[in-house]
Structures are given as C-alpha cells and as structure tokens.
Structure 1
C-alpha cells in the first residue's frame, strides 16, 4: 500500500487585532480628553515619590529607609495579587518595593528581628501603601 505524503499546512499571514482597550492612537493634533498615564509629568512625579524617603530601622551602622508615600501602582499590583489568592507574594512585593533590595535583604537576614519588630515594620509599610485602607466602594 502506498503512503501519501502529508501536506504541510500553508502558513497564513494575518494581521493581529489590537484589543479595544489597548489601541495605539495617532498623536492628536489638539488636546484629548483621554488621561495619559505615561506622560513625563507622571513619570517625574513617581520618581520623586520614591526618592522622598525617611528612616525606618537600622541594623548596626546602617539605616534603612522607605518612601514617605507609595506609588498607586504598587497598591494596585499588590491588590491584584492578593485578590488572586497570592497574599504572601503580595506582601513580599510590597516589602521589596518599599524597602528596596538592600533593605529587604538586611531585614530578612537580621538574626535579632523579633516578631513584634517585624509586625511594626510591616504595619508601617502597609499603611504607606494603603494610606486610607482598602475601599470596597
């Protein structure tokens, strides 16, 4: 019995459809009512928020700081993670963002960190990320 060679399906070239929520827009000639979140003014404001820090704890001769305020995007991401059942990952995300990698490493490697001290640090950080607490409405 002779075998018939299989045809390789022809490749179709199609244009990707852009999600309605993410349509790239041509540069408008006049002001748009659409709120641009990636504007330079916002980028500069976020950098300023993150750079404006105050001391939180010290280990030895090193003092570790956190931002006085947290960018709203950090709260948004942590909330999304928690809503998906990733509460521990959400807390780790918030601690790492607020403390920075050096502060997070120092805190996690500190042999003299007590539960009460950790809870104080954690609670202060959470209050910065959610200054008025999560709202359902």
Structure 2
C-alpha cells in the first residue's frame, strides 16, 4: 500500500499540497508512480517570486536514465520559498517525499482552486485503481 498522509490534498499528477497558513501551501511530489530510471538525480526548482497559473509547469524532476518529468502546479500562485536542500540531495524527492523532499511553498492566488484537489481517501483509491 502506498503512503498517503491524511494532512494533505492530492492532484491527479501525483503532487501533494499541504496548507501551511492562510492562502499558503507547501507542494511536493508523492513518489507515485516511481520513475523507471529510479531515484531522482536532479530537481529544477522555480525561483522565489516566480508566479504560475494553474496547470503551468513549475518544476522538473529527472531520474537516472530518464527524461525530466515536468510537474504542473494545481493552483495559481507565487513561489515564496523553495527547498534548496534538493540541489545537493535530489534523492529526497523519492526517499522522503512527504518530509525532506518538498519542492516549494506557494502563496495561493485563488484559494478556491484547492477545492478541486483529491482527498487522501480519493487519492488512495486512484492509486489502487492504477494497480
């Protein structure tokens, strides 16, 4: 069974979103599905102050022997912090996706967009259905 923490919401493209404050969230990748090449070897993060619309690519994760995987943000917002640790330890995205492997903190422009995310239960059901 895949780990699906109860204190987050999830996107169809396997990102988790954790509310950390008023209209502020922390975003990371769940690690499902795992890249065929294995553990992440490079993470290209956005810059602090960068603004994104929902469904816009904000980051890429590259596993050994695989093309970079483009990650799209499930809500509109501005990057207020990034996990600089991933520059020296990109494997944290896979090894500790819900703790040390977070990607960025976002000041959400349209908090109503968070309502379109999956609950932990719905995301776990989606994973079970994917086999």
* Length-normalised TM-score, structure 2: 0.25
Which structure is higher in helix share?
1
Which structure is higher in strand share?
2
- Structure possessing the higher radius of gyration over alpha carbons: 1
Q: Which has the higher contact order (CA 8 A, sep 6+)?
A: 2
